[in-house]
Structure 1
Amino acid sequence: MDPHFVEGKFNPYPTEGSLLKYHIPTFKAAIAAGVSSVMPYYAFPSNTSADQGLPWYSKTQQFEEVCFALNKAIITDLLRGQLGFKG
C-alpha cells in the first residue's frame, strides 16, 4: 500500500529477517557503488513485524515508529554505522 495514505502508513515484515535479507542488499550495493544519497521510504516500520534481527528500539518495540527516512536505527545505526554510508 502507498505510505502517502493512512492505510499504507506502516510496513510490516511478517517473515523473520526479511528486512535484512530482501531490502538491505540493494542499499549495500548502492553504498558500494559510491552513491551520495539514498531514499529509504516514507512508510514506518511496523512493530507487528516478525523479529528482523536488528537491535530493538525499546523493551517493547522492535522499531521506532517514524518513517524510514527519519529513523535513527535505519539511517544512523544501520546505513551509516554498519554499512558505511557517507551521504
Structure 2
Amino acid sequence: MDVAFQDAVAAGDGFLKRAVGERFQFSGPEVNNENYFGVGAGIGMRKKDSALQGKINRAIDSMLADSTYSERDSKYFNVDMYDK
C-alpha cells in the first residue's frame, strides 16, 4: 500500500496499532476542513428521541466535569474526540 485516506481513529486503532500496520505511519498534514467533515465527533440517534439525547448529553457533561472523559479519550483514541 502506498497511501490511504481515512478517518484518524479508524486508521490509528484499526490499522496502525495492530501488527499488520507496524511498518506504516501517519504522514502529511491533518485533513480536517469543517466545510467537509464538520466539527468533533457525532453520535447517531433518532431525531424524535429527546429523552435519549438528554441522557447522553448529561452523561457527557458528567464525564467532562470529573475528568473521566479526558482519561478515557486519551486511553482509547489517538485524537481528541471532544471539540471544546
The reply to whether TM is greater than 0.5 is: no
Larger strand percent: 1
Larger helix percent: 2
Q: Please give the TM-score of this superposition, normalised by the length of structure 2.
A: 0.26
**Considering only CA atoms, is the larger Rg found in Structure 1 or Structure 2?**
2
